[in-house]
Structure 1
Amino acid sequence: MWSDYLLFILLIICVVTDIRERKIYNSILYPILCAAWILHLVVDGTSGLIGSLQGTVVGLGILLIPFFLGGMGAGDVKLLSVIGAIKGVQFVLMASLYMAFAGGIMAIIVLLFRKGTKARIMQAMYIVHGLTNGVKLPLPNEKEGLKTVFPYGIAIAAGAIFQTFRQGGFFYDKGRTGPVAC
C-alpha cells in the first residue's frame, strides 16, 4: 500500500513539471528511487530490495533504446525506471504496454491538431494511390514534423495509473507486499 502512495506522489509531481517545463527533475526522481529501495528493504527484506532493483533495471531498459535514438528524453527513461523500483518488474512491463498505447494516442492527437494536417493527409493519400497504381512517388521531406515533441511523462503516468487501477486501484491493498508479489 505504501508503494501506491509513493507512486501517486511521483506521478503527480512529474506530470505537472513535464507539462509546465517539459522536464522531469532528478531532484524528484532520485530521492523517490532511494526511498523505494530502502522501503522495500525494510518492509520485504533482501528479496524486496532485489525485486525493486530488478524493476529499476527493467524500467530503465524499456526506454533506453528510444532514448539513444533521440526519440525520448532522459527524464522519461528515469521516470519509468523509478516506477519499476516502486512497483516491480511485472507492473512496469504491463504499465509500459499501456504507456505505449497512450503515447500513440497522444501522437495521433498532436498530428491531427498541428498546422498542415490536411496537406499531410493529402500527401499520404497520393502516395498510397500511386503505390496501388505502380507509381513510386517521393516521400515528402518535412523537417517540422521531426521537431514536434510532447510531454511523454503523461503517457508514462497514464500507463502506470491504468495498471494500478487494473490491479485494484490506488490505495487499495489486496495483500500485495511489494515488487516481488506484483
Structure 2
Amino acid sequence: MVLKLVLITALIISLITDIKDRKILNIVTLPATIIGFIYYTTFQGLEGFLFSGKGFLLGLSLLLIPYLLGGMGAGDVKLMAAIGALMGTSFVLYSFVYIALIGGLISVILILKKNGIKNTLKSFYFQVFYFSGNLGLLIFSKDKSSSISFPYGVAIVLGTLCMFVWGSFI
C-alpha cells in the first residue's frame, strides 16, 4: 500500500510537471526509486533488493534506446526506472505495453490533427510502397517545423494507471 501511494504521488507530480514544463523532475523520480529499494531490502533482504533492482533495470532499459535516439527525455526514462524499482519487473513490463499503446494512439491523433488524414495517408503510402525514406527520419526528424512532439510522461502515467486498474492483459 505504501509503495502504491508513493508511485501514485510520483505519477501525479510527474504528469503535472511534464504537461506544464515538459520536465519530469529528479526530485520526484530519485526518492521514489530509493524508497522502492529501501522498502524491498528492509522487508525481503537480498531477494527484495534484487526484485527492486531488476524492475529498475528493466524500466530503465525499456526507454533507453528511444532516449539515446533523441525521441524522449531522460525524465521519462527515470520515471520508468522508478516504476520498476517500486513495483517490479512484471508490473513495469505490462505497464509498458499499455504505455506504448497509449503513446501510439496519442501520436496518431496528433499526426492526423496536424497533417490531415489525406496527407498522412499519402505520406504513409509513399513510405511503405516506395521505400523512399528512412522511418527513423520520419519519427525523429531534425526539421522542428515538421516534427510533432508531446510530453510522453502523459502516456507513462496513463499506461501505469491502466495497469493499476485492469492489471495484466494475459
Structure 2 length-normalised TM: 0.83
Q: Which has the larger radius of gyration?
A: 1
* 8 Å Cα contact 2:112-2:120 kept in structure 1: no
Shift of 1:32: 1.4
* 8 Å Cα contact 2:95-2:160 kept in structure 1: yes
Letter in 2 for 1:58: L
* Higher helix fraction (1 or 2): 2
SS of structure 2 residue aligned to 1:23: coil
Corresponding position of 1:117:
116
How far apart are the structure 2 equivalents of 1:112 and 1:74? 27
The alignment yields a C-alpha RMSD, in angstroms, of 2.5
Matches within 5 A, 1:49-68: 49-68=49-68
Q: Specify whether residues 126 and 85 from structure 1 end up closer, same or farther in structure 2 by C-alpha distance, changes over 3 A only.
A: closer
Corresponding position of 2:24:
24
SS of structure 1 residue aligned to 2:151: coil
Q: Specify whether residues 101 and 126 from structure 1 end up closer, same or farther in structure 2 by C-alpha distance, changes over 3 A only.
A: closer
SS of structure 2 residue aligned to 1:148: coil
Letter in 2 for 1:49: F
Deviation per residue, 1:136-177 (Å, 9 max, x gap): 5966x9835753210100111111111111249xxxxxxxxx
Shift of 1:124: 3.1
Q: Specify whether residues 160 and 118 from structure 1 end up closer, same or farther in structure 2 by C-alpha distance, changes over 3 A only.
A: closer
SS of structure 1 residue aligned to 2:23: coil
Structure 1 length-normalised TM: 0.78
Letter in 2 for 1:13: I
Matches within 5 A, 1:19-168: 19-114=19-114, 116-117=115-116, 120-121=119-120, 123-124=122-123, 127=126, 131=129, 143-144=143-144, 147-167=147-167
How far apart are the structure 2 equivalents of 1:33 and 1:125? 40
Deviation per residue, 1:35-65 (Å, 9 max, x gap): 1111112222221121001100010011111
Letter in 2 for 1:86: L
Shift of 1:122: 6.0
Letter in 1 for 2:59: G
Q: Specify whether residues 121 and 148 from structure 1 end up closer, same or farther in structure 2 by C-alpha distance, changes over 3 A only.
A: closer
Shift of 1:113: 1.9
Gaps of 5+ in 1: 169-182
Q: Which moved more, 1:31-40 or 1:16-25?
A: 31-40
Q: How many percent of aligned residue pairs carry the same amino acid? A: 35
Shift of 1:111: 1.1
Letter in 2 for 1:79: L
How far apart are the structure 1 equivalents of 2:95 and 2:46? 25
Q: Specify whether residues 77 and 126 from structure 1 end up closer, same or farther in structure 2 by C-alpha distance, changes over 3 A only.
A: closer
Deviation per residue, 1:57-81 (Å, 9 max, x gap): 0100111111111111111001000
Paired residue total = 160
Higher relative contact order (CA 8 A, sep 6+): 1
Q: Specify whether residues 125 and 5 from structure 1 end up closer, same or farther in structure 2 by C-alpha distance, changes over 3 A only.
A: closer
